[in-house]
Amino acid sequence: MIIPKIASVGTYTPPFSLTQSNIEQLTKELFQHKISRLDRLLKVFENGEIETRNFCVPPDWYREDHTFEERNELYIRLATTYSVEVIQRCLTNRSFLRENISTEDIDAIFFVSSTGISTPSIEARVMNILPFSDQTVRIPIWGLGCAGGAAGISRAYDYCKAYPEAKVLVVCVELCSLTFQKDDYTKSNLVGTSLFADGAACVLICGDHVEFKQDITTPHILGRGSKWMHDSEDVMGWDVKNGGLHVVFSKSIPAIISQWLGPFIHAFLSNYDMSPEQIDNFVAHPGGKKVLNAYEEALQLTQEHTAVSREILKAHGNMSSPTVLYVLEQFMLKKNKPNTVGLLVALGPGFSGEAVLLEWRE
């Protein structure tokens, strides 16, 4: 049986750090006299259990008008820079690797993002900076939003099942701050402003014919599952308008998760004769406090199961696709005993879910 493994992770925190109270004040300044009952709505900043978030641009950027063209040019430049950074961190991370892995040895690269548009896609620009082979397979994935990190791991798993000698990178970069619309007075925009942030992460996934020594147990991928909900395009996503990307964020998301996630995960785990009670490491994308509460309700989990996800949410907010990889990194840094079982889960536009079953092995 071919069982690919996650060998290393690298993450990057963008340079401009703001406390949640700072962001709330800036939002109040920008939307004052434009949104009715603003003070009441601003409580979403305090109730979200987020303390700090990081952004790729300074606070004054949000006070100015920006065209879609300007936003996207900035996205291309910074997404390329951040991708180079996280790839290098991933391939040289001494917490996981005894020796550096060269980009020349990478067989395929999945680039995952939903917050900007680029053709050629970002990984092509990265491959002109770092010494990748000119035969490296490129697989850009766009539009999966918060589900993108888990889906990228799933697709890399599929690739390594087909090519067990392969070393594959999954690179996730989201610059949610560049999509901020100061002239959008909808509640969705306000909720998005209270929640989303910027981040980048990279994981190295290897087929089981790849041999190199590691001093720790690492998560091996036993399987993956996907699920999609009919007629749910309005649950979350983007409205593309002249000024750029406008967030669509339904208030029904926690209720949908509570009703829909449980049957999906129970059916997925049953394929491996497992149940949620057997999960040691719950590697959940922290979409928000209510989303984590819905995970617990749907799968009968405790806050201990979601503690790492809550810490990432508290320190970084929701960075869309990379966020679950930040959570994964924290679980990989722990000293996990062999046979520790993990479940990596993320949800995104579509409405859709992605689940990856993990087992830590020598």
Q: Going by C-beta distance under 8 Å and a sequence separation of 6 or more, which residues neighbour residue 272?
A: 222, 223, 357
Full strand arrangement of the beta sheet holding 352-361: 137-142, 108-113, 167-175, 198-206, 5-12, 218-228, 352-361, 341-348, 281-284
Q: Amino acid identity, residue 8?
A: S
3-state secondary structure of 321: coil
The residue whose two tokens read 């900007």 is: 116
Question: Judging by DSSP bridges, how do beta strands 167-175 and 137-142 pair with one another?
Answer: unpaired
Question: Judging by DSSP bridges, how do beta strands 281-284 and 341-348 pair with one another?
Answer: parallel
Catalytic residues: 146
3-state secondary structure of 66: coil
The residue whose two tokens read 């996990």 is: 336
Residue 105: name the closest of 168, 171, 11, 172 by CA.
168
How far is the C-alpha of 171 from the C-alpha of 325, rounded, in Å?
10
Task: Spell out a b/e string for 60-84, using b for 16 or more CB atoms within 10 Å of the CB, else e.
Answer: eebeeebebeebbebbbebbbbbbb
The residue whose two tokens read 């394929």 is: 271
The DSSP string of 108-156 is EEEEEESS---SS-HHHHHTTTS---TT-EEEEEES-GGGHHHHHHHHH
| Tokens matching residue 11 | 């993450």
